[in-house]
Chain A
């Protein structure tokens, strides 16, 4: 291949989208984190299914449960945002709709993440 690219562009290796393997890598990073954190969350939910409110409240307020939950919320919404971005870019081709959908995707995942984190913190610091 004839090298029309500048040496700087070759060294950076970011390609035409200017983000290189960033999307791919973050999707995998959060996937591995989610594997661990979701397994913990499943254990927690199965244990709490049908439990009385004071027990649920006390359990969720414990730092050893609240901190993994907060990590899951963070890792989860990043993974959700990247995955939905993939779907949007695959199927929505009209530029206006695509940008709007990508914006909504970011807003939605940020909102869901913050709402969940707020609820966990509220439980931790005495709901």
Chain B
């Protein structure tokens, strides 16, 4: 049958924008984003190791960058990103065993990931700062 020229409202496939964000969906997206961020963030570790291997002057320079408020903010963010991706990974390993797939369990695991990563990040920085006598 030929089209009359008027556009027909056809059903379209539902996509991201039509869904209300659910916690497991947000954690899934965050897992990918934190993974990609860590990919780039590895350059921080590389820079630190290169500086340490290059001598005292270079090491002092990189420590200066990391000690700057902006540097600290990046490192703090890096810590959270790392821990969030780690906990998200543990959640995936649990799922790999075939467990934790009920809606209640999926939601609980998702909340554990986000709350756990924030608490662990704060705890780590408190330990680190206390060891340095800065807290």
Interface residues of A, Cβ cutoff 8 Å to B: 28, 31-32, 34-35, 38, 42, 46-47, 49-50, 53, 56-57, 60, 76-77, 80, 83-84, 87, 112, 115-116, 118-120, 122-123, 127
In the bound complex, do residue B46 and residue A115 qualify as a contact, i.e. CB atoms below 8 Å apart?
yes
> Quick check: B131 and A49 within 8 Å, CB to CB?
yes
- With A31-B93, A80-B39 as known contacts, state yes or no: A123 contacts B53, CB within 8 Å: yes
The distance in angstroms between the C-alpha atoms of A56 and B124, with both chains bound, is 19
Contact with A28, one of B54, B60, B96 (Cβ below 8 angstroms): B96
B45 CB → nearest A CB, Å: 7
Contact across chains for A80 and B93 when beta carbons are under 8 A apart: no
Minimum CB distance partner of A32 in chain B: B93
Contact of A112 among B32, B43, B131 (CB under 8 A): B43
Task: State whether A49 touches B89 (Cβ < 8 A).
Answer: no
Question: Would you call B115 an interface residue if the criterion is a C-beta within 8 Å of the partner chain's C-beta atoms?
Answer: no
Interface centre among B35, B42, B54, B82 (most CB of A within 10 A): B42
Nearest chain B CB to A118 CB, angstrom units? 8
Give the total number of A-B pairs whose CB atoms are below 8 A apart: 73
14 example contacts (A-B, Cβ-Cβ < 8 A) are as follows A42-B124, A46-B131, A47-B131, A49-B132, A50-B132, A76-B42, A77-B42, A87-B32, A112-B46, A116-B46, A116-B49, A119-B49, A127-B52, A127-B53
Q: Are B52 and A123 in contact (CB under 8 A)?
A: yes
**Is B23 close to A, CB under 8 A?**
no
Min CB gap B76→A, angstroms: 12
* Contact A83 B49, CB 8 Å, known A35-B86, A46-B128: no
The docked-state distance in angstroms from the alpha carbon of A46 to that of B46 is 17
CB distance from A47 to the nearest CB of B (A): 7
- Which A residues are in CB contact (< 8 Å) with B128? 46, 49
> In the bound complex, do residue A115 and residue B56 qualify as a contact, i.e. CB atoms below 8 Å apart?
no
Residue of A nearest to B50 (CB): A119
